[in-house]
Every structure is written in C-alpha cells, then in structure tokens.
Structure 1
Amino acid sequence: MKKIFSKLIVCLFTTSIAVSGFAVDARADAAPSANSGVSVSKNRIYGSDRIETSLKISQEGWKDGSDTVVIAQGYGYADALCAAPLAKKYNAPVILSRQDSLDENTINELKRLKAANAFVIGGTASLSDNVISQLENIGIKPERLGGRNRYETSVEIARKLGDSGNISNIVVASGAGYADSLSIAPIAASKGMPILLSERDVLPDATSSYIKGRNISKTYVIGGTASISDSLETSLPNAQRIGGATRFATNLAILQNFKSDLNFKNVYIAEGDGPAGNEFADALSGSVLAARESAPMVLIYKDISDDTASFIVSNMEKDTALTALGGTIVVPDTILTKIVDLYEGKSPVVSSSLSAAVNKILSDGNLDDWQALAVARYGASVPSSYLTNLSNSIAAAKGNLSKPTDYERITLALMAVGQDPANFQGYNLIEKIYNNTGIDDQGINAYVFALIALDSGNFETPSGAVWTRDKLIDKILENKTADNGWSYAEDSADPDMTGMALIALAPYRDEAAVKDAVDKAVDKLSSMQDSDGGFSSYNVSNSESISQVIMGLCANGIDPASAAFTKNGKTALDALLSFEVPGGGFGHTKDSGYNAMATEQAVQALEAYNMFESNTGTGIYKFK
C-alpha cells in the first residue's frame, strides 16, 4: 500500500493546482516553438468567420488597393467556385458576403481598396439586388455574372475571361461538390483557364455550347469517375483526367501534375472538407493569392495525409512560408508543425503521434499548466484563455500559492508561452522559488523542479537567497537512493523521479560529483528497463515512467533509442509509442484508453526527443 501511495503522490505532484484551465480559442496567438531557429515560417491569415477571413486575405494580398473586386456568396459554393480565374485576370481579391447584404467591415475594405468595379457572382439567389445597390452607393460599378444555375454561371464567368481566340485550355469539374474545383482553382487561375461545371454523366447545354464554339486544345477533367464519368470524359476535346480516390488524393494528384508550374516558396493550406458541406470559403478566398504566387493550395481536414505532407516537404525550400487560411479550428497548428518537423528530418512516426496528441489535448477544452507547456513546446497555439484564467488565479491568491511546486510548474508554463515569471501580474514567481522556506517540506520533487525552473530562463539568484543552485544540487545528490537513482518516498530507484532528477542535473555534468551521479543513474535506468523497452513503476508498466526517462536521457545527450536502452529489439521510444490510443493521445497503461496526464507527458517526451534528434534547442525545459 505504501508503494501505491508513493506513486500517487508523484502523480499528484505533476498535476497539483495545474487546473487553471482555458478553452480553445481559434484566434489565439501562436506560442514560441521549440524549432524557432528553423527558417521555414508558419503563418496564418484568419478572421472571426469566413467573411472576415476573406477581408484579411484581401488586406494581406492587396495592400495597395485594387481597381476591381470579385464578390461571391460565402455560404453557398455553387456560383462562387469558378471565380478564381476571373479574379486573377483582373488582379482582384475574392471577397465573400452573405446573400442579402454587405456588412460594414466589407464596405470599409472596399473603400480601403479604392475599388471602382466589382464582379458580382451569381443570380439574386446568390447575391441580392441589395448588394448591387450597396456597391453603387459607394461609387463602385457592379457587373453581375450569373445564369439560371451554377452551370450557366460558370459559362458566363468563362466568357468574361476572354474571346474564343484567347482560351485554348479548359477545366471541367463537378458542379455537385466544391472540393475538386477548389483544388484546381489556383492553377487554373494562374494559367487563365476557365473552370466549367458539369453534371456527372451529361454536359450541360450551356457548357457544351461554350466548348463547341472554341478551338479547345486541352481539357483537364478533375476528380474521379464518381465526379465526372468516363463517357463524359471521352466526349471532351483532348481530355486528361486528374483525380484520386478521395478529394485529398485528387488535390495531391493536381499538385503533382502541375509541379513544374508551382513555386514552393509559399504554400497555402485550407480546409477542404467538413460536416456542414460548405467548407469551401477560405480556400476560395485564398485561391487568387496562391495563383499570384504560383503557390500550391493544400486541402486538409483535421490532419494532412502523409503522402501530401511528404510531397510538400520534398519540394519546399529552406525559407518556404507555410500559411494557414482560417483559424486553428479549421487548420490546426499541428499540421504546420508536422510539415516543419518532416522538413527537419524528424521521425514521421513521432511527428504524426505528436500532431494527433496535441490535437486531442486542444479538443478537450480547458488545459492545465503542463498541457499548456506541452502544446506551446510543440509550437501550436495555446488558447488565450489560459493566461486570462491563470492571471485571475494568481491575482486571487495575491501571488501566494500553496506549494513550492506550484511556483515551479507555473514558471515553466509561463516561459513556454512567452511570459516573464519574474514579473507576472506584478508578482515575482522566481523570488518565490529561491526564497521559499517550504521546499524542504516537499522534498526531492521540489528540489528538482526548483532547479529546473531557475534554469529555464537562466534566472539569477542573489547571494543571500534561501536556495541557490549549489544548495539545490547538493540536496538532489543527498537524496539519491542506495541503488543510484531517485525516488519520491521509497528506498529504491523509481524511473519517474530518476528521469526528473536527470533533467535537473543535466546542465551541471561538468561537476565531478554530478557527472558520477548522472552516469550511475543512467546505468541504473538501463538495468531497470522492461523486456519490451518500457519502464514500470511499482510493478505497473506505464507510459508516464517512459516519458520521464526519455526526457531525462535526452537532457543529458543520451539517445533513448540507443543500444543501452533497447531490449529485445524494442527501444524506450518504441515502448512509449505503443501506448498511443486511437483518436490521438496516450494511455496510462495499455488498453486503458486516453489519459490526459499521460498524454501531456508523452508530448513533452516526444518533443524532447525531436529536439535531441534534430539538435535544436537546449532541452525541453530550457527557454533561454
């Protein structure tokens, strides 16, 4: 019973008062990344909704204004799908609107652009006559391009692109869905090819007439046979089908087919699927921006396929800019980080597990301090409510928290999200650590994380401090177990506490006593490793023990996948990944399902391994 209780105390330490949680906020700023030295940049253009996102894209891409704009319905894709080539021809942003009227922000953006002309896409069912009147009232000349249905509208837009002598290549895509048209839109726009919509088996009369009236030398048929049938394809002039089994496979096939025409200095990423069936908006707004730069547009839904990620990475340059269109709910930060990780040569298995785990943490809502640290260290956006709730908690306590480990843990979380724990809401949490008279009461874990917290930002301690680094090191060494490890309350080494102590001592290995203790502790951990590569605490194989060992080893420059930590062909890293659960995240024990604490510790461990493997950063808890 004593052993179980001791293990429980260690677990409680890692979660103690870390309940200053916070909800997911799609507009939160990104936290500092562990890979901040990488020249590949991660950017995001977004607003509070699809209309505001289109305005943000306009502001980003047309800083100096535009004589012409394209106005399209933001909640019905039918008429809007074919607008990108027209917008590219007139160097016009695509601005989305509701059916009945332009809102105030849209009108302000049109004035900023100093637009004189506007193409209004679709009939009155798409954009009402009130929209026309609003444009005229602010001095913009509107021209409606619309037919009786989406097919006729696509032809009207095609006619506006040029006369019969100017159009030789065309795109034919399904009018029953938006994904295929979105995938080809930036490329069609950059090449001046109209996008003509069709039914699956029958070419609409308007589309057929348009094609017959022109000398078309090439037809790109987009999508699989479920979108455009083989019989229809064969009726089109010099047709080439570009498609895949899914919308995302089609997107990749398009990028591969036009690879030589694309410039990978910029890569745009947008949502291409979802439960509502109208998740086309951000990709449509961004298609002209991508076309202007001949940049690829990557469609995703919650995650990016390994094949697409590998293709993008294989064509990226060291200064490529990855830009998400829309908030983090539609394009998670984890997708951008996954691409950067792969570009750096990090393990694709580790990268995928990290991406899924961070997405799971964020989807669960309120985050504790350790989760905030894990998410930020991965490079994803920490919800803004974290700091709000933490600020309220600190203010309510007037800076006086319950335990030394509270100050230590919160210090690490604040450092991860780019805040100064020496001056947070007017309180100096660092001083609360080095002058804390209660550290002895909490014992080894308080010594360990006091040292880690002080080193996280190279914080200075005055000569008269209650706790200096030397005192903390001495206390950690004094608390070694007889078998050369550390434990919270037992006489024999525990892998969790030993891993934590190794993290704290890592910066001081040039001191003989520390080096001797670290070397012996590493040997002890190797001898404690289970036959499957994992670690057990109190006879229970669990992922948290493995995570702490991996972090301790990586902090000391030791590969957790080295021969010393490989048993029966299984490394410590293999063992940790075996605890991954369906849907993302990690379990405490195998087959026990998702566990929040196990997941945040696994994310920290895998990110520590990524940092070790790529030689980026100085440690999972080192921020300066």
Structure 2
Amino acid sequence: MKKIVSKVTVFLFMLSISLSGIETNAYAGTISGTTSGTGTANIAKERIYGNDRIDTSLKISQKGWKDGSGTVIIAQGYGYADALCAAPLAKKNNAPIILSGQDSLSSNAISEIKRLKAAKAFVIGGEASLSDNIISQLKGIEISDVQRLGGQNRYETSVKVAQNLGSVSNVVVTSGAGYADSLSIAPIAASKGMPILLSESSSLPDVVSSYIKSVNPGKTYVIGGSSSIGDSVKNSLPNSQRIGGATRFATNLAILQNFKSDLDFEKIYIAEGDGPTGSEFADALSGSALAAQKSAPMVLVYKTISSDMADFIKESIYKDTTLIALGGTSVVPDTILSQIEGLFNGVSTEVLNALSGAIDKTLEKGIEDEWQALGVARYGVTVPSNYLTNLKKNIKSMLNQPTDYERITLALMSIGQDPTNFEGINFIEKIYNNKELSDQGINAYVFALIALDSGDFEIPKNSVNTRDSLISGILEQKTNDGGWSYGGVTADPDMTAMALTALAPYASSNSDVKQAVNKAFDRLSSIQENDGGYSSWGTANSESASQVIIALCANGVDPGSEKFTKNGKTPVDSLLSYQVSGGGFCHVKGGGYNSMATEQAVQALEAYKMFKEGAGGIYTFK
C-alpha cells in the first residue's frame, strides 16, 4: 500500500509541476517598478551599458550630457593608476569621463566627443598611460585646448589633477595601490570639490605631502583601513579622519554612512567593485562623474550585494528612487537590483536569498524544461539561448495533450515570443478549440484559463472552449468539502490552489466564483499544518506550500495573514524550511535537491515578491 501511495504522490507532484507556470518581462533598458503591497514603492531600475568598458563610458556620457559639454576628460580604461582622481575634475568642468585604450581613441569615442561639441579636453596621465597620438586625435577634431595632466607616477598625477581644482577646503587621501576605495569616495569628493590624492601605504609621497601643506586643508579624509593607508600616514595628515572597513565593500558602506546627509538617494549607481582580473574599475570610474552631478551614492558590488549594504539602501532610498546599474549583467546582475527593490517592499532577506540561491542552482545545472526557463526569466535573468533553439527544434514532438499547449503558451509569453504564431502554430487557437480538455481532467481546464488570460487573448464566440465554459468546468469539479482534487473525493491543496489561481480574475465579478473561492480558502486554512505548510496524499512536501502561496498572492491574500498563520508559521515559513545546502529545495524534509520542488519554489517566491511589490499576478503578461 505504501508503494502505491508513493507512486500516486509522485504522479500528482509531476502533474502539478507540469501545470504550474510563471511569467516575465525580459530585463532590458529601463524597467519601472509599481506600487508595493504597502502602497509606498515606485522603485525604477535602469541599466547603462555598452559592448565593453569604453562603450559603456560613452553610453554614460550620452545619458548624463544629452545637450553636450564644453569639456571632456579622457582617462585610461584598462589601467586605473592615473585615472582614479579624475572625478572631481570632471565635476568642476561639468564634463563626462570617456575611457580610452593607451594608443588611440576609438572611432565611437571620437564620434561622442564630436556630439558633445567639446572645446577643451583633459588627458589624465603620462604618455605611458595615454599616448601623444590621443592628443593628436583630439586636435584633429578641432579641440585646440588639450591639457595633459600627468606626472612621473600616479601620485604626482593625482597632484596635477588636484592643482587644476583651484582652491580647496578639504582633501581625500586614498591608496594608489588599488582602485576600490577611490571609486567609493569619488562621487562624494567630486560633489564636495575635494581632490583625491593617492598615497603609498607606509609613506606619503613627497609631492602629495607638499601639495597638502600648500592648501592647508581643514580636514583630511583617509579612505580605507590601516592596511591600505597606514596609521603613520594618517597621523601625519592635518585633522585626519579615517573612513574604512575590513573589506572594500565595508569601506564603501562606511563612506556612504558617513556622508549620508550629503547624498541624494533619488538615484543610486551600482557598479562592479571587484573581480578576477584586478581591473574592474572602469564602469564605476566613468559613472562617478554622472553620480556626482546629483550627489548620488556609488555602490560597489561583486556578484552579490552584502546584506548590510542592502539594508542601508533600504533605509535610505525614497519611494521613487531609481537604481542604475553601470555595465552589463555579467558585472552587475539584475538580481542585485531585484534584491534591493524587494527589501524596500517588505520582502525578507531570507526569501530573497532563497530565491537567488534557487536560481543560481538552476542555472548551474542547466535549463532542462519550460518551467525552469520560466523561473529564470521571471527572476530577471536572461534564459540561455539554447532553450529557445531546442524548443523550436523539438516543438512538434512536444505537443501530445492539451496541457502541452497551455504550458508552452506560458513559456513563450515569458520569453517574449508570440504564442499565436510560433513555428507556424497558433497555440491559443489550439487551446480554445481543443475538444480533449475533459480527457485530461481538471488541470487542463485550469491551465487553459490561465494561458488564455495570460495575455488577455481574444476567444471567438463559437469556440469549443470559452472563458465561461472553462469557469463552469472548474466549478463543476469541486469536491464536497469545498476544494478541488485530481482524482480524489476530498480537497487536495495542490489542485485546490491551482484552481484558485485560475479563478482569481473572476472572483470580483462572478458571484458563483466568489462563493467557491471563499469556501476553497476556508478549506485550505482548515487543512494547513502547524508548521504553516501542507500535505498532499498524506505526505508533507514543499510543492503544496508553493502552490498555496501562488494562489493566495493571485487572489490578493497575504500569505502572512492571520488566516494562514498556524502556530506562528506561514506557508512562506514552511517553504523556506525545505531549502537545501548549496541552493534549491527538496521535495520532503531531509531529502536532497529536487528540480521539481525548486521550480515550484521559485514560482511561489516570485509570486510573493510580486505581491509585496504590487506588481500584478505571476501569470499576467499584459
């Protein structure tokens, strides 16, 4: 008997996983957030990027200096040494920082300088950094005023740049042996008119010391820990204050905390601050001039964002803040922007980390089916191109029953494909004129309705299946105890939840639907277990909790509401308890990673995140 039940349970879970879907709008350019579940957030997300670091600097220039600029700053794009101190000079001259290779400006860079109508250019660094050929190129496009600001080394170069700022009140001293600390302070130093001076760890170069004595600053900000700038150097500086942390990211946070009152969080720039090559400074450097325009913070990340930084941003941002990633998704993942947005809207760090870990594990193992592709796409990560290639190649062999058309419709919608004409097939017509729905059972009715509503597709009046007939078909298959089941006589949480998700758009306008939905939610509440989760066919499992979360969110019910809190635990709490080490979810507690459980968990946590953000239903692509 146990073996029979086990087989039935596995079948039902495979059935539910094959019928649960999600949706997305592929992240590209600007994506505006919407009012959150608490009615406060309108976070927007942008990305400024090009094909490489030089192209990204040109995109930044185009973004920040749409009407042109009389001055342009040219800095080395592949070696940070001479370029770190450029931001204050750029701010003083209202100039963009355009990156270049050592030997010559690219044709695109020359075109951008022409667009700016620049009459003056500063070339940062000596000939070893930027050759004289670049100066010739600039003069060749009729920029007669070209000034090279370069010394014998990076330290003297930083002084040359500082001298061009004129009178200063305070100065910044940071390490010349790395780029991260300089980039953290750059927009702030620029907006406050403070020069960025480079130093060795154990001694202050004479040229820098002489400059500091000549300007007699009221305050010296020493950026970085004692391993970057030693205490002996700090103590030799006038009225010095160290701002630093144990890591470059901790220093970045300490800087933002120290100057918080001087920063405007209407825009937050996010750039890569570390990496395997040791030269991941370029986007933050060119972006520092743009950030300085509005005294905006520069946040440094590497693959992820620290929880401390995320919490700081959450506490600091406004309801209409724009998060701006500098560089492509390989340097600033979309997940970082989503995490910040989610925190602001009341999604816990635990949920966000669980979601991120599940996505990472899915990508690590490779996209194997539609639901994994949907989960990755909904999360805001680009689905590997081979998924669409394989889908086109195998599509005809995949269409054997009604739910195949329904499942693939949702997948196509999620990746921006047209289900009314994909490889010559009109999937929508194949759904509304399918005469075999009843052969597959309640699940075929449920996901036919979800698929047709996903894009608000028009259904001809003489169709075999209309929205009214699908709703009726679902309502007719209610169990006597107020839910739905696939082949059983009592409510099963999975099938009940899926039916509730399908009926969600109609509860407010159809009294029969409203009554059925209310009874079904009562039933789901009554069978909820003390850990906040659910059992299906006698087995406590993660998928049941996932489906209930999706249904609650689709109907505008907070999974954390009193009705669905048992012993202090919610369905979300229960689902999180199924996480496995290394990312992803298990089917039953104590089990290992399970791809089906992980797929459904991703859907559920995305639905919950969207609910908190007020971003609409998880199956809505309109």
Same fold (TM over 0.5): yes
Superposition deviation, residue 482 in structure 1: 5.4
Mapped partners of 2:232, 2:320: distance in 1: 45
Cα distance between partner residues in 1 of 2:485 and 2:618: 21
What letter matches 1:500 in structure 2? M
Distance, in Å, in 2 between the alignment partners of 1:593 and 1:52 is: 45
- Give the aligned partner of residue 126 of structure 1: 129
**Residue 371 of structure 2: SS of its match in structure 1?**
helix
Q: Is 1:536 the equivalent of 2:535?
A: yes
Pick from 111, 120, 137: which aligns with 2:114? 111
Q: Aligned pair in 2 of structure 1 residues 407, 32: CA closer, same or farther (>3 Å)?
A: farther
Aligned to 1:153: 157
**Mapped partners of 2:579, 2:226: distance in 1:** 37
Could you tell me which residue of structure 1 aligns to residue 471 of structure 2? 473
Larger displacement relative to structure 2 (85-94 or 522-531)? 522-531
- CA 1:3–1:105: 2 relative to 1, 3 Å: farther
Mapped partners of 2:211, 2:512: distance in 1? 84
- The 2-side partners of 1:90 and 1:384 are apart by 43
- Equivalent pair of 2:32/2:43 in contact (CA under 8 Å): no
SS at match of 1:536: strand
Match for 2:559: what amino acid?
A: P
Structure 1 letter corresponding to 2:541: N
With over 3 angstroms needed to count, the CA separation of the structure-2 counterparts of 1:103 and 1:18, relative to structure 1, is: farther
Q: Which amino acid aligns with 2:118?
A: A
Rounded Cα–Cα distance in structure 2 between residues aligned with 1:287 and 1:594: 43
Q: Deviations over 1:497-547 (max 9, x none)?
A: 221122123334465554454444334433443442222334443322210
Taking the TM superposition and a 5 Å limit, the aligned residue runs for 1:27-38 are: 28=28
* Aligned AA (2:445): Y
Deviations 1:330-387 (A, max 9, x none): 1122222222223333444334433444455456654743344444545x25448389
Counterpart among 43, 46, 56 of residue 46 in structure 2:
43
Find the counterpart in structure 2 of residue 385 from structure 1.
385
Secondary structure in 2 matching 1:421: coil
1:285 and 2:286 equivalent? yes
Partner of 2:254: 253
Change over 3 Å in CA distance of 1:237–1:290 after alignment to 2: same
Q: Which amino acid aligns with 1:95?
A: I
Deviates more, 1:226-235 or 1:108-117: 108-117
Q: Partner amino acid for 1:577?
A: L
**How far off its partner does 1:422 sit?**
3.8
Q: 2:137 and 2:592 mapped to 1: Cα distance?
A: 56
Partner of 1:22: none
Provide the rounded CA distance (Å) in 1 between the counterparts of 2:582 and 2:194: 41
What does residue 576 of structure 2 align with? 577
1:419-438 aligned at under 5 Å gives the runs 420-422=418-420, 427-438=425-436
What letter is aligned with 2:147?
A: E
Q: How far, CA to CA, are the matches of 2:58 and 2:402 in structure 1?
A: 48
112-121 or 369-378, which moves further after superposition?
369-378
Partner amino acid, structure 2, of 1:445: N
Task: Tell me by how many angstroms 1:481 deviates.
Answer: 4.4
Q: Which moved more, 1:437-446 or 1:40-49?
A: 437-446
Single out whichever of 272-281 and 525-534 deviates more from structure 2: 525-534
1:235 Cα offset (Å) = 0.8
Q: 1:59, CA displacement in angstroms?
A: 1.1
**CA spacing shift, 1:506–1:202, aligned 2, 3 Å:** same
What displacement does 1:258 show?
Answer: 1.6
TM-superposed CA distance for 1:301, in Å, is: 1.8
Alignment deviations for residues 569-603 of structure 1 (CA, whole Å, 9 cap, x no partner): 32211111122344544333445454443333223
CA offsets per residue over residues 213-259 of structure 1, 9 Å max, x none?
A: 22222100111212112222111001011112222221122112222
The answer for the alignment partner of 2:236 in structure 1 is: 235
Larger mean Cα displacement after TM superposition, 341-350 or 76-85: 341-350
1:80 maps to a residue whose letter is A
Corresponding letter in the other structure for 1:606: L
SS in 2 for 1:569: coil
Distance 1:584 1:94, change over 3 A: farther
Alpha-carbon distance in structure 1 between the residues aligned to 2:485 and 2:169: 75
Name 1:448's counterpart in structure 2. Answer: 446
Instruction: Please state whether the residue corresponding to 1:196 is helix, strand or coil.
Output: strand
Aligned to 2:82: 79
Q: Which amino acid aligns with 2:294?
A: E
CA distance in 2, matches of 1:248, 1:410: 43
Q: Is this contact kept in 2: 1:190–1:292, CA < 8 A?
A: yes
Are the counterparts in 1 of residues 29 and 46 from structure 2 also a CA contact under 8 Å? Answer: no
Q: Residue 30 of structure 2 contacts residue 44 of structure 2 at CA under 8 Å; is this kept in 1?
A: no
CA RMSD across the alignment: 3.2
Task: Answer whether contact 1:32 1:377 (CA < 8 A) is retained.
Answer: no
1:620 aligned onto 2:618: yes
Q: Which residue of 1 aligns with 2:192?
A: 191
Deviation larger for 353-362 or 40-49: 353-362
For residues 467 and 145 of structure 1, do their structure 2 counterparts lie closer, same or farther at Cα, with a shift above 3 Å needed? same
Amino acid at match of 1:499: A
Cα drift, residue 421 of structure 1: 3.4
| Partner Cα separation in structure 1 for residue 612 and residue 65 of structure 2 | 41
Which residue does the alignment assign to 1:269? 270
Offset of 1:16 from its aligned partner? 5.4
Confirm or deny: 8 A CA contact 2:351 2:605 kept in the other structure: yes
Partner letter of residue 291 of structure 1? A
Q: 1:144–1:226: structure 2 CA closer, same or farther, 3 Å change rule?
A: same
Q: Which moved more, 1:110-119 or 1:521-530?
A: 521-530
C-alpha distance in 1 between matches for 2:363 and 2:96: 33
CA distance in 1, matches of 2:219, 2:620: 57
Match of 1:550 in 2: 549
1:3 and 1:490 in contact (8 A); partners too:
no
The change in CA–CA distance for 1:282 and 1:361 in structure 2 (over 3 A counts) is farther
TM-score (norm 1): 0.88
| Partner Cα separation in structure 1 for residue 117 and residue 423 of structure 2 | 44
Gap change, CA 1:33 and 1:597, over 3 Å in 2? farther
Paired residue secondary structure (1:111): helix
1:503 maps to which residue?
501
Q: TM-score, normalised by structure 2?
A: 0.89
Q: Which moved more, 1:175-184 or 1:524-533?
A: 524-533
Q: SS in structure 2 opposite 1:303?
A: coil
Please name the residue that 1:602 is paired with.
601
The separation in 1 between residues aligned to 2:34 and 2:191, in whole angstroms, is 36
CA 1:102–1:588 in 2, change beyond 3 Å: closer, same or farther? farther
What secondary structure sits across from 2:130 in the alignment?
Answer: coil
> Which secondary structure state, in structure 2, belongs to the residue aligned with residue 256 of structure 1?
helix
Counterpart code for 2:190: A
Distance in 1 separating the partners of 2:611 and 2:137:
58
Partners of 1:386 and 1:7 in 2: how far apart?
A: 32
Describe the shift of the 1:114–1:512 C-alpha distance in structure 2 as closer, same or farther (beyond 3 A): closer
Aligned to 1:330: 331
Give distance in 1, aligned partners of 2:500 and 2:601.
17
- The residue aligned with 2:223 is 222
Deviation at 1:123, TM superposition (A): 2.4
The secondary structure found in structure 2 opposite 1:554 is helix
Q: What secondary structure does 2:81 align onto?
A: coil
The answer to which of 584-593 and 226-235 deviates more is 584-593
Q: Which amino acid aligns with 2:472?
A: D
Deviation at 1:11, TM superposition (A): 4.3
**What letter matches 1:464 in structure 2?**
N
- Distance in 2 separating the partners of 1:363 and 1:297: 30
1:119 Cα shift? 2.0
- Offset of 1:190 from its aligned partner? 1.2
For residue 484 of structure 1, report the CA deviation from its aligned partner: 4.4
User: C-alpha offsets along residues 407-436 of structure 1, whole Å, 9 cap, x if unaligned?
Assistant: 212333344455553455665322211101
Q: Conserved in 1, the CA contact under 8 Å of 2:16 and 2:495?
A: no
Taking structure 1 as reference, are residues 17 and 40 closer, same or farther at Cα in structure 2, changes over 3 Å only? closer
Q: Which runs of 5+ in 1 are unaligned?
A: 20-24
The 8 Å contact of residues 499 and 548 in structure 1, kept in 2 or not, is answered as yes
